[in-house]
Structure 1
């Protein structure tokens, strides 16, 4: 474990100039930095002034350059105010060192409504502060800082009446699901950067502050590179760092996220609307990144309808994060996750190291959050399977592992090897799971209790447990619990 990356070797401060080749357990494209035409426009040369709102100047610069084949729109050093910006093909929006771009809190600066996806449901709403739709070869780069909307109707008129899938009438065509905030009607908070249905997206070097909602969210994109970005959104509810939403062929590297919610998150649509769209998130590599504060360092879900597959997380550090590796879904969310790989990670956590929550809370799904009764499997039943975790050092965590599956859809085929947990308060809970393998693990815990509820075909081989009383207490519950094996372990166990 001594060869695992340390905190001073990952994150935005260590961004290299070049993009190294990718080695993944599935096929990935070769990623290269984009090339743009030599044309440049500095907004200050077009009359932009720091105390005035300059949305029209920025947008016209983007439009004019895109019309002649593209180039770079430069935001120079200074404090600049703007409304929503829409990127166009072959444009690099470049924030120079010292540039600060502040987004308006007024609804009129984000109208008319644009096509977007809010928490996995398609709507027409504010979209994002930096938005793009059906564009190719676009970028946001530089050493500048982007600030989310200031206080105003954009934040105060956010929809709070219900969860999204119950609030939006999904039986209506998407073009009729309009939320623009007229007459004090609720709106959906804008993301900070969200290219939608775009190809070849490049985001590098920038810092994001004070978002109203999720920070960087590619939606329906193909070919995304995010590198060297810094996100600060601690204290902001739902202030996710980077959310990959039904997108494919994605590389995230050398980024530092300090988030008000989850840090690095993979999503693929919610419930019936997500099933209708049916677009997965697939072929994603996250490497050499730093997750600081946040609910979860690396999270799957809870929007999983299109399925998240072919994900490879390696050589990252989680420092003072909540949960380390987190899996979330709900009975009516659909899809799930498969072919998920995690390798060479260092964790210092105040929550659970490895956590599956497939039932959720009653506030979102009512009685469906209860284990029983077992429900009939249907198109909205999610599944997690084929998860591979190895070479992990957990320096501190509250709990080693919590796995809450769904009785009618147990989590299946988890393989963990070369895992060391130096300090944890609680040990192990598994509900509704099948085919779990733990090889070469070394766990130190104040607790000695291992709970198995309808858990079957689980093996521990070459396992060292440093627990209270030097004896494992095994609690078996449920008629389906069977085939729990221990081989080459250091201490005895008793049934509790």
Structure 2
């Protein structure tokens, strides 16, 4: 009898194992956060331990000496231009060993502010800081990177170079200089036509005194800095990219709200050739890409050769913007070790976005995306590796196949898992480069409702598994694609017949 029961148990287990479960594990998807559970409004007091698929440092809030200077004590009135008072307070505290400069409640006007080591610029709740729209208030030129090319330019509204242990904190509001002379003189041509790359960075001076155009100042941009902390502030009306750590090490950005919707080049947070970065509980509503990784542009970026690596983005909300989380298109120094998890993209155009161009160089690798909810205007996951003729001329044409060289970019080894798509157009669009196809992409555990299925041009080793894709579309479009497979995928096509390409592997899939 015992032998019979044992054999029965074995046969029962084997029969259960033979029943293949098709589609996603909904128990994993049910815990993905909603838009109310992420972003600046739910910022916790403490920084939780970071867990990532690669080694990350321990992130802690910085500490500053107890010295304080309140700029109201220096000025006596908020009606005056406060640039000198703020800068003098920063310089004085930094020289003394550090402390906190307090901008109290009220309306304040200022030009460029330069942060110094061991200083916390604290913008109190109720304080509104208006940055000047006059070019002269950002001169002289400082070392900067504009669209990932090194120049001497107006820099940033809040700028720092070669400083350590700096912070911008508080619940106050910063109003950028998108207006007046700054807006009227903002450059409109591709940057490659304006900067002489044969000169050194120090010789590429564009401060608004010799040309009728300018490179507008970014909003907050430390460069060559260590231990950078930004928390709680709100940014509006930027003239260019909002928060841009460049060549920095150990950066924390948390609880920030950015609103630059409707402003061209109004990127939210751009990590430029920086490492060991934590971005959490931020809300971005932008005129361009929301959360973006960059690492240098073309020959200039290859010469600098500084990667963006070891970056974690978590518990963030992307609202309006071209891309929720974007890599590129400036990729020369390579973007690697990026982990984006527990984020919501609500109303963004593209969800997970990858860009580069034939002459940009470098690329992206070891990129991980997990537990993301998307409600989008357009494509859910997209690669655009060719660009447009307006910027790269004939190199934007897919053919002829070009010879691989130092400026040929790549994307490879990318994992996307536990994704909910509430609305979108194409589930996946890949426009790779024939001589450098997207390689090794895995998309796992997805529940998606979208209008179209998949376009894959120039990609190899793409596996979509454990997914439910609901769409009225029945077309999978391939061009120059190899080793494309769907495993345990439910295609809910409203009874349309899926047009299966001959060279695609469908394993344990369901069609209805």
TM-score normalised by the chain length of structure 1: 0.96
4+ long deviations beyond 6 Å: none
Q: Match for 1:244 among 271, 282, 294?
A: 271
Could you tell me which of 464, 476, 485 is aligned with 2:505? 485
Q: Distance in 2 between matches of 1:475 and 1:329?
A: 28
- Cross-structure match for 1:67: 95
Q: Say which SS state the counterpart of residue 371 (structure 1) adopts.
A: coil
Q: Residue by residue, what CA displacement relative to the aligned partner does 1:84-104 show, whole Å, maximum 9, x if unpaired? A: 000000000000000000000
**Can you give the 5+ residue segments of structure 1 that lack an aligned partner in the other structure?**
477-481
The answer to whether residue 325 in structure 2 is matched with residue 298 in structure 1 is yes
Q: Determine the structure 1 residue equivalent to 2:467.
A: 441
Secondary structure of 1:473 counterpart: coil
Give the Cα separation in 2 of the matches to 1:364 and 1:381.
Answer: 16
Q: Which residue of 2 aligns with 1:425?
A: 451
The residue number in structure 2 matching 1:198 is 225
Give the corresponding residue for 1:176. 203
Q: Deviations over 1:67-125 (max 9, x none)?
A: 00000000000000000000000000000000000000111111100000000100000
Residue 77 of structure 1 contacts residue 96 of structure 1 at CA under 8 Å; is this kept in 2? Answer: yes
Q: Partners in 2 of 1:118 and 1:446 — Cα distance?
A: 43
User: Contact 1:37–1:69 at 8 Å: present in 2 too?
Assistant: yes
Q: Secondary structure at the match of 1:439?
A: strand
Instruction: Assess if the C-alpha contact under 8 Å between 2:472 and 2:496 holds in 1.
Output: no
What is the match of residue 311 of structure 2?
284
RMSD, aligned α-carbons: 1.0
1:309 aligned counterpart, secondary structure: strand
- The Cα of 1:152 is off from its aligned counterpart by 2.2
Instruction: Report the alpha carbon displacement of residue 171 of structure 1 after superposing the two structures with TM.
Output: 0.7
- For 2:420, the equivalent position in structure 1 comes to 393
SS state at 2:193 partner: helix
The question of whether the paired residues in 2 share the 8 Å contact of 1:330 and 1:369 is answered with: yes
Residue 150 and residue 455 in structure 1: after superposition, are their counterparts in 2 closer, same or farther (change >3 A)?
A: closer
Q: What's 1:479 paired with?
A: none
Choose 373-382 or 178-187, whichever is displaced more. Answer: 178-187
1:153 is aligned, of 176, 181, 190, to 181
**Alpha-carbon shift at residue 475 of structure 1 (Å):** 4.9
Residue 483 of structure 2: aligned partner: 457
In structure 2, C-alpha distance between the alignment counterparts of 1:255 and 1:469, rounded to whole Å: 41
Counterpart in 1 of 2:252? 225
* Alignment partner of 1:6 is 2:11: no
Q: Distance in 2 between matches of 1:72 and 1:48?
A: 18
Question: How far did 1:151 drift?
Answer: 2.2
Q: How many residues of Structure 1 are paired with residues of Structure 2 in the alignment? A: 484
Indicate the residue corresponding to 1:21 in structure 2. 49
* TM-score w.r.t. length of structure 2: 0.93
Q: How does 1:90-169 map to 2 (within 5 A)?
A: 90-149=118-177, 151-160=179-188, 162-169=189-196
Partner of 1:314: 341
Does the aligned pair in 2 maintain the 1:83–1:129 contact within 8 Å? yes
Matches within 5 A, 1:332-371: 332-371=359-398
Please say which structure displays the higher CA radius of gyration. Answer: 2
CA deviation map 1:329-362 (0-9, x unaligned):
0000000100000000111111100000000111
Report if aligned partners of 1:48, 1:54 keep a CA contact under 8 Å in 2: no
What is the CA–CA distance in structure 1 between the aligned matches of 2:494 and 2:46, rounded to whole Å? 49
SS at match of 2:73: helix
C-alpha separation in 2, matches of 1:48 and 1:59 = 16
Gaps of 5+ in 2: 1-28
CA shift digits 1:473-493 (9 cap, x unpaired): 1357xxxxx4x200111129x
Deviations 1:278-314 (A, max 9, x none): 0000000000000011110000000000000000000
Report the structure, 1 or 2, having the larger strand content: 1
Give secondary structure in 2 for the equivalent of 1:33: coil
C-alpha deviation, 1:468, in angstroms: 4.5
Instruction: State the 1:54 CA deviation.
Output: 1.1
Q: Which residue of 2 aligns with 1:58?
A: 86
Contact in 2 for aligned 1:451/1:474 (Cα 8 Å): no
Separation (CA, whole Å) in 2 of partners of 1:165 and 1:250: 29
- Give the conservation status (yes or no) of the 8 Å contact 2:272–2:308: yes
- Alpha carbons 1:165, 1:270 under 8 Å: kept: no
Structure having greater relative contact order (Cα 8 Å, sep ≥ 6): 2
Q: C-alpha displacement at 1:156, in angstroms?
A: 1.3
Distance 1:92 1:80 in 2: 18
Aligned to 1:172, what secondary structure does the other structure show?
A: coil
